[in-house]
């Protein structure tokens, strides 16, 4: 066993070399740039003429189903790492519960309820 001078942290210890013992650096989430709030925009549907609203120039018509291309928006779309609602890394989707059991085949000798 090798002796360390007193006051030196153990290998793998959470203490930083400068000795303040804070864990702020290791547990703080990565810096995410502040996103500007989307602008509510309005236009007429190009297919049916319905008055529609969208965000940053991106529209979808609820009457006829028309959608404009994402590249027509006023600003670029944020990347996944810029999304403030993105789940933390390492989190997995929950497992799907099994569905209801499949109906059983009664077989050729099943008794019907008609009597006889």
Nearest-angstrom CA–CA distance, 31 and 48: 44
What tokens does 66 get?
């028309």
Spans of the chain, pLDDT less than 50: 1-2, 4, 23-25
pLDDT of 41: 95
pLDDT of 45: 96
Instruction: For Cα atoms 104, 108, 112, give the angle at the middle one, nearest 5 degrees.
Output: 80
pTM over cut 0.85: no
Q: Is 61 exposed, middle or buried (0-12, 13-18, 19+ CB in 10 A)?
A: buried
SS3 (DSSP) at 36: coil
pLDDT of 58: 95
């Amino acid at each position: 066993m090798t002796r360390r001078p007193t006051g030196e942290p153990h290998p793998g210890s959470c203490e930083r070399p400068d000795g303040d013992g804070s864990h702020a650096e290791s547990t703080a989430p990565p810096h995410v740039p502040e996103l500007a709030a989307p602008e509510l925009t309005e236009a007429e549907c190009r297919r049916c003429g319905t008055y529609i609203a969208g965000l940053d120039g991106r529209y979808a018509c609820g009457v006829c189903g028309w959608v404009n291309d994402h590249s027509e928006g006023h600003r670029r779309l944020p990347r996944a790492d810029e999304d403030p609602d993105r789940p933390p890394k390492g989190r997995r989707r929950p497992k799907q519960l099994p569905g209801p059991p499949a109906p059983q085949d009664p077989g050729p000798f099943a008794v019907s309820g008609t009597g006889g």
